[in-house]
């Protein structure tokens, strides 16, 4: 579970960096984030498949119609927080 959470966090960090520096390519993202290119590439692929970013000849950019996807993402994160709180309560009882 921890590894999956770390990967999701990386995707969000890549998303934030793209938002702040768009358009941006893999090499520049890797440099800014001090992260291997293969990890950046994977995160960009996941974000593209999720409909959040799109590739251009100049690098990744945030899609114009992304508001609904971001809203859904925020809702999912709130749900995950609830699950983590429930897990914490269970572990405390063990």
What is the C-alpha to C-alpha distance for residues 58 and 23, in angstroms, rounded to an integer? 6
pLDDT tens per residue, range 64-79: 888 888 888 899 999 9
Torsional sign, CA 78, 17, 2, 4: positive
Tokens representing 91? 């572990």
What is the C-alpha to C-alpha distance for residues 17 and 44, in angstroms, rounded to an integer? 11
Domain regions of the chain by residue span: 2-93
Q: Cα 32 to chain center, whole Å?
A: 16
pLDDT tens per residue, range 11-24: 999 999 999 999 99
pTM of the full predicted structure?
0.84
Q: Which positions ≥6 away from 61 have C-beta within 8 Å?
A: 18, 22, 23, 53, 54
CATH code that applies to domain 2-93: 1.10.10.10
Pair 25, 59: CB distance under 8 Å: yes
Instruction: Report the percent of the chain where pLDDT is more than 70.
Output: 100
């Amino acid at each position: 579970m921890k590894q999956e959470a770390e990967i999701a966090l990386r995707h969000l960090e890549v998303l934030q960096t793209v938002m702040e520096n768009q358009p941006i390519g893999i090499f520049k993202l890797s440099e800014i984030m001090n992260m291997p290119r293969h990890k950046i590439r994977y995160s960009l692929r996941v974000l593209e498949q999720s409909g959040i970013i799109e590739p251009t000849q100049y690098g990744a950019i945030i899609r114009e119609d992304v508001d609904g996807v971001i809203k859904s993402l925020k809702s999912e994160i709130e749900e995950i927080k609830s699950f983590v709180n429930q897990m914490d309560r269970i572990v405390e009882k063990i």
